[in-house]
Amino acid sequence: MADAIGVAGCGAMGLPMARRLARAGFEVFGFDIRPVSEFGDFAPRMIADAAAFAARCDTVISVVRNAKQTCDLLFDAQAILARDRRPKRLVVCSTVSPRAVHAVAARLPTGTILIDAPMSGAPYRAEAGTLTFMVGGDDDAVAALMPAFHAMGTTVHHLGPLGAGMTCKVVNNFVAASSVVAVRRALAAARALGFDPARLLDVMRTSSGATWYGDNFDKIVWAREGYDPANTIGILEKDVTSFLDALAGNGADAPGDFASAVLAGLRAAEPLP
pLDDT tens string 98-113: 999 999 999 999 999 9
b/e 169-191 (16+ beta carbons within 10 angstroms → b): bbebbbebbbbbbbbbebbeebe
Q: For residue 256, what pLDDT band results from cuts at 50, 70 and 90? A: confident
Q: What is the pLDDT of residue 250?
A: 80
**Mean pLDDT for the stretch of residues 239-257:** 87
Q: Cα(45)–Cα(29) distance, rounded to whole angstroms?
A: 5
Which among 213, 206, 46, 47 has a CA at the least distance from the CA of 121? 213
Residues 43-63 have pLDDT tens digits of 999 999 999 999 999 999 999
pTM of this structure: 0.93
Which runs of E-coded beta strand occur in the chain? 5-8, 28-31, 59-62, 89-92, 113-116, 119-120, 131-136, 153-160
Q: Are strands 131-136 and 153-160 parallel, antiparallel or unpaired?
A: parallel
Quote the pLDDT of residue 172. Answer: 97
Given the residues 68, 88, 169, 238, the one annotated as active site: 169
Let me know the angle formed at the C-alpha of 146 by 144 and 150, rounded to the nearest 5 degrees: 155
Domains of the chain: 5-162 (3.40.50.720), 167-267 (1.10.1040.10)
169 labelled catalytic: yes
